[in-house]
Structure formats: C-alpha cells, structure tokens
Amino acid sequence: MDSPFARPIARRTPLFSASAFTIALLFAVLFSASAQAQAPVHQSLNQLSTDKFTNTSSQHATEVEPDTYSYGSTIVSAFQVGRFTDGGCSDIGFATSSDGGATWTNGVLPGITNIQGAGNPYDRISDPSVAYDAAHGEWIIASLPIVDSFKQIPAVVVSRSTDGIHWGNPVSVTGNVSSSDKNWIVCDDSSSSPYFGHCYVEWDNPNTGDTIFMATSADGGLTWGPALKTGNSATGIGGQPLVQPNGTVVVPIEAGFGNAISSFTSTNGGTSWSKTVQVATISSHLDAGGIRSGPLPSAEVDGAGTIYVAWEDCRFRAKCAENDIVLSTSTDGLTWSSVARVPIDPVSSTVDHFIPGIAVDKNTSGASAHIGITYYFYTKSSCSVSTCVLGVGYIGSPDGGASWSPSINLAGPMSLNSLPQTTNGLMVGDYISTSFAEGLAHGVFALAKPKLGATFNESMVTSKAGLPAFPSGPLTPVGHEKPVPHFHSDHPLPSAPLRDNPPPSARIHP
C-alpha cells in the first residue's frame, strides 16, 4: 500500500485530560526552549508503515531500529515490527520508494516467522540491514533469526528482491550456530572493482565472547561461503562493512563492550580478513531515563573510498555530562583521523545526543563530500523517565565534515513512556539510518506518539522532503575544539554489549 499519509505524523494526537494536556504542554515548552542551537521543528513527515500484528507475545503497535540503503532513485528501508520485550520482533517490515522518497510502498517479509505465516521456521526475527547488489540486480535484507528453544539455527538469513517490493523466502547465510547477533550486510557495487557483485555479511557469536565472523556471496545472496574470523580472531559487535571503489572491504566495529572502535579489512574479495586495528577509544555518557542506547558505530563511504565512522561520545564535555556525535575518517581502514566533534550545539549546552545514523552521498567525495547525520537527542541530559524530552535532529556537511550547517529538529517532543520496553531499556532502536538519493538525505527513524490506551503508537517515519547536506545558515568549522583533559566515561563498562538474541532460558515466555 502506498504511503505517505496526507497528514504529517509529527502532529500529536490530542489528549483529553487537563493533567495530560499540562504534561504535553510542558514537554513542548521544554523542547522549544532547548539550549540546542537547532532550527524549530518544521519538517513535514511521512509515516512509512505501522505495526498491524496482533500476537499477544509482542508489544503493539511498535516499529523500531531501521536501516536504509539507496541506489539511484530507489530507497529501501527495513525495520523491526511488533517488538518483543526480551529480544526480536514479530517480523521485519520494509518500506520502499522508487522515486527518491516521494512515495513509499510497505509490507513485511514473507517466510520468516510463524507469527507472519503458519509453518514459517522462526519464532522471532531481529536486526535488519539492507544492501543492493548492482551486479545481479538484487536488493537484499539480512536479518537475525531467533527461536524460543535451544535448537541451532542459521546465524543470519537474507531475503532477496529485484524491485525492493516483492521478496522471496529467506536464504541461510551459514550453517547452524549456537548464537549470533548484530548482523550487517553490504555489496560491492563498483563496476571497476575486481570483486564487483560480491556481498559481505558480518555478525558476532555471543556464546564465544562476541567472536566476529564474515561470510561472502558472489551470486546475489543465493549462496554463501564459509564463516571466517578476522586475522586475530577478534571480538566485537555492531560491525558495518563498507566497500571502497577498488574492492577493499573495511569493517568498523565496536570492541571491548563499549571501550573502543576498531576496524578490519579484506583486499581479496572476502577470501581472508585482516587483524583489527583501533580507530579510537570510546568515552560515553550514560544516557538518562533508562533508554536503550550505546556507542555502536554508524559508518559510510564516499565516492572516492573515504570511510566515515560516527558514534556517541562525551570526550569534549566537562565531567562527561552529555554525549556529542563524533567522527573519524580513513582512506584505507588502517590509519584513522583524530576524533572530531560534530558541532550540533556548543559544548556548554546541556543537550545529549545519541544513536546517530550517518549518510554520505556517493556521487560526492573528498573535500566536496556531502554528509548527513540523523540522531536522537535529549533537550537536557539530566532527566528521568518522566522528564526526559526526546527529539530527532539532522545536521549536514557539504565539505567532507570540515564544517557543518546549523542542525534541524525533525521530530519531537516524545515522552519515554511512549516507548516499548526491552531487557536493555526503552527502545527506539540500537541504530537508525540515513541515505542519500538524488542529492538529498532521507533519514528513517522511529517516532513514538502517546499511547492509545494500553496500545503503543510507534511507527517508522521520514521527512516528506529530503534534506540537503547544507540546509541553511552559516557553516561551523571543526577541528578547533579539544577533548577535555583525562576524559573518560561517566559509568563503568557494561558486562555485556547491547544484545538482541539472549539465550532461550533468559527469554520471557507468555
């Protein structure tokens, strides 16, 4: 069904009690009075999908954790629909635009969960990631199958489509494994590359301390090679593989349960993988209100092969009181630039930024690379479940991150009470995504409106009009700010990373 909706989803449903109205008014006042130097909310939004499942084991209506990928004028997004409290969702939803984001078609993937269709092999599904294989003309969504038993299942499955709308049943990426988490997929779309048409999937195995694995396909995702470790059998989570025009694959990944960002590479089409190198240490602020967040990387590559990695980090803030979005770049995946702060607002502000989704226009590169970042933020970092004011922002750079435009508020205010619960906190997603199509950035994100009684009202949305890398106003250069002395996180490292595939014994059964 085609959607956009005629009415912008940013308009909140009226509340009927005086006390509720007062609370909503307070949120709006706090949101607009934010110290963040952002433009007012003025973006009309398209609602891309809605959770129509009714199984009692999931929280409805909820949609979280989108990824997007664009090729030409087509954008495909994928996301969780019907979120379980203790891991996974009822099915993976998709929303596809073939006209640069003007109109969208949505649905859910077939053949995966027995919630979507009786007899399907899996009880839940999670962690969707989207790629396009230009050599074979295939859109591919990789996702993480889950069963509510100790049965071993494939680490990752992929769903394939020639148009981004009609999808086949899932294909197993690997043989059966005991556990897997945080998969991601990319394909080599450079016709000049010696490995044009190779697709690469990354995941980790929680049962072995998050050992990193990679698998490669050379036939549009129909069959896959063996699961391979890095050269040093490294551990990590949340890797995002990228392919440079020469065919080199670079995979930035979170290491050490939030202690560092690392990367590793392949220069032979996925036949083998290098040892990991450190991109940067991580120092993160613990986001308030019990929201599920963490310094997972978001990564992209420009048209000449420069890799950009963004994550949330507090090294530029006194006492690590707020997170900024920070950035590091590399031309080879081996040596990386010093960490730079994206200047969304002054370091003296109280605004907390987290869960970035970075995009780079692949038709641009180097000093003229166009970058867009969509992210979540609190108007004030020191808050509670009842007082945190959650919004979504966007910021762009027209010059490869050397300077940044004023940021834009896309959505909000949102109350945390409108978010579904998970065993790791209230959820909009462990990541969000932005992609460029026809020169404009399209961020897809979860927007939670107030509950309708006991039912959630959280859907996937995007800006009705795409956003340029340089929206308006004076550019702010980067590089003059220095991290605070002796910077470090304001919380202990977690005993385990953000995870979405707990063992069956840890799951809550209805």
pLDDT in tens, 427-475: 999 999 999 999 999 999 999 999 999 999 999 999 999 999 988 899 9
Question: Distance between CA 347 and CA 487 in Å, rounded?
Answer: 14
Region 138-149 average pLDDT:
97
Report pLDDT digits (tens) over 118-129. Answer: 999 999 999 999
Region 225-232 average pLDDT:
98
- Indicate if the pLDDT at residue 203 is higher than 80: yes
Would you call 300 helix, strand, or coil by DSSP? strand
Question: Distance between CA 280 and CA 431 in Å, rounded?
Answer: 20
Region 72-92 average pLDDT:
97
DSSP 433-445: EEEEETTEEEEEE
Question: Distance between CA 147 and CA 475 in Å, rounded?
Answer: 50
Q: Where residue 503 falls among pLDDT bands split at 50, 70, 90?
A: low
- The share of the chain scoring above pLDDT 70, in percent, equals 90
- Indicate if the pLDDT at residue 3 is higher than 70: no
Report pLDDT digits (tens) over 324-358. Answer: 999 999 999 999 999 999 999 999 999 999 999 99
User: Which residue in 131, 85, 37 sits closest to 349, CA to CA?
Assistant: 37
User: Which pLDDT score is estimated for 178?
Assistant: 84
User: Which pLDDT score is estimated for 88?
Assistant: 97
Report pLDDT digits (tens) over 270-321. Answer: 999 999 999 999 999 999 999 999 999 999 999 999 999 999 999 999 999 9
- Indicate if the pLDDT at residue 70 is higher than 70: yes
- Indicate if the pLDDT at residue 11 is higher than 50: no
What integer best gives the mean pLDDT of the chain?
91
Question: Distance between CA 489 and CA 144 in Å, rounded?
Answer: 30
Whether the Cβ atoms of residue 394 and residue 404 lie closer than 8 Å to each other: no
Would you call 417 helix, strand, or coil by DSSP? helix
Longest dimension (CA), the chain: 65
- Indicate if the pLDDT at residue 102 is higher than 50: yes
Domain spans, the chain? 39-495
Region 199-217 average pLDDT:
96
Phi first, then psi, for residue 27 (nearest 5°) are -55, -45
Q: Where residue 37 falls among pLDDT bands split at 50, 70, 90?
A: very low
Class of domain 39-495: mainly beta
User: Which pLDDT score is estimated for 58?
Assistant: 97
User: Which pLDDT score is estimated for 471?
Assistant: 84
Q: Is 238 left (phi over 0), alpha (psi -120 to 50) or beta?
A: left
Whether the Cβ atoms of residue 411 and residue 391 lie closer than 8 Å to each other: yes
- Indicate if the pLDDT at residue 368 is higher than 50: yes
- Indicate if the pLDDT at residue 168 is higher than 70: yes
User: Which pLDDT score is estimated for 500?
Assistant: 81
- Supply 306's token pair: 């420069």
- Indicate if the pLDDT at residue 141 is higher than 80: yes
Region 78-104 average pLDDT:
97
